[in-house]
Structure 1
Amino acid sequence: MSEKYKANDPKGIYFITITVVQWADIFTRREYCEIICDSLAYCQREKNLTIFAWCIMTNHLHLICSSPALANIIRDFKKYTAKEVYRAIQQNPQESRKNWLNWLIKSAGELSAKHEEYKFWQPGYHPILLHNNGLMEQKLDYLHYNPVTAGFVEEPEHWYYSSARDYAGSKGRLSIVLIQ
C-alpha cells in the first residue's frame, strides 16, 4: 500500500482535503456547515485535534491540522458527520434537493467496496505533510483564497466558514492556532 498520502508523522502538520461524493454541493446551506463546525470543535476539545487553518467550500473541506492520531480522528469525524448531515437532509423541510441527494448518497453507498447503506464522503483525506515554511504558506494561501478563486467573495476574510477571518484579525467561527 502506498505511503504517499498517509499521516505518518504524529507531530507533523498536514494539509488535508475531505470531499463529498461526486463533488456534490451540499454545503450551500448553513445548517450543514454548522454540523461540520460543531464536529471540528468537538475534535479539538475531546480528541486533541489542533487546527491551524480551515475552509468549508460547497463540496469539500480543507484543513491544516495536527494530531498524534490524525487518521483516527478524521475517520471518526467523517463517520459522524456523514450520519449527521444525512439526517439533517432528511429532516430539512426546505431541502428542495432531497430526492436527488438521497439517490446520490445511497448510490455511492451501494457502489462502495463495503456496500454501505449510504456514503457521504469520498474515501481518504489526502494528507500532505507541510514540512517547510514555503509549503505551509502555499497551502495556507490556497485554502484561504479558495472561495475567492471560486468567485464567492472578493476577499478571503469575507467567507464565513474559513479561518481567513482569524488571520485578518477578526474572530472566526472556530478556535485556531495561528501560523506565524
Structure 2
Amino acid sequence: MSRKYKIRDQERLYFVTFTIVEWIDLFTRKDYRDILIDSLKYCQNNKGLELCAFCIMSSHIHLIIGRNSEHAIESIIRDFKKFTATEILRSIQTSQDESRKEFLLDHFRKAGAKNSNNTTFQLWQQHNHPVELNTNERISRCLNYIHQNPVVAGLVYSAEDYVYSSASNYAGLPEKLIDVILIQ
C-alpha cells in the first residue's frame, strides 16, 4: 500500500471513502442508509469518532473524520465497516421486500471468495484511501467535494437539500440527520 494512503497522525482529520464492492448501488434503500447513520452515531458516542462531514451516496460514503479518544482512527474505521457489513448483510438476508436479494448476496459472496481475509461475504472494498487534511485549502476542497457530490450526481439542486449529508449542518438548518463537528 502506498505511504500516502496511511493514517500517520492520529491527531489530524482525514477524508475517507468507503465503497461497496463493484460499486453496487446498495444505499438506494433507507434501511441500509439508516444502519450507516446509527453506526456513525454509535461510534461518536462510544468509540471517540469525531465526525466533521459525511455524505451517503448510492454506492459509497464520504467522511471527514478524526478522533477524541484512545481509539486509533484505523480501529474506528475497522469496527464501523465490520459492524455495518454484518448488519446490512443480515438485513438483506432477512428482508421480505428486497427484490435484489439474490443478486446482492451472489455478488457479495463472489467478492468474499476472492478475498482470503473473508470467510463468506465481502460488502465493502478494503481500501479507504485516507487523505490527511493538513491544510485549510485541502479541508475546504474535501468539504466542498463531499457536499457537492449529490448535486453533481443530479440528485438535488442545492447541497443542503440532500438528507443524507452534513451540508444542512453547515448551512445552519434545523433539520439534521446526525450532529457533526463543524470545521471552521
TM over 0.5: yes
Alignment match, 2:10: 10
Partners of 2:12 and 2:153 in 1: CA distance: 29
CA shift for structure 1 position 115: 4.6
CA shift for structure 1 position 92: 1.6
SS in 2 for 1:51: strand
TM-score between both structures, scaled by the size of structure 2 = 0.95
1:133 matched to 2:133: no
CA RMSD of aligned residues (A): 1.0
1:84 to 87, 93, 98: 87
Give structure 1 stretches of 5+ with no counterpart: none
Alignment match, 1:34: 34
Alignment match, 2:124: 121
SS in 2 for 1:160: coil
CA shift for structure 1 position 20: 0.4
- Taking only the aligned residue pairs, the percentage that are identical comes to 45
CA shift for structure 1 position 113: 2.7
CA shift for structure 1 position 114: 2.5
Alignment match, 1:175: 179
SS in 2 for 1:4: helix
**Segments of 4+ moved more than 6 angstroms:** none
Structure 1 residues 27-75: Cα deviation after superposition (integer angstroms, max 9, x where no partner) = 0010000000000000000000001100000000000010261101101
Partners of 1:115 and 1:79 in 2: CA distance: 11
Partners of 1:156 and 1:104 in 2: CA distance: 32
CA shift for structure 1 position 152: 0.8
TM-score between both structures, scaled by the size of structure 1 = 0.97
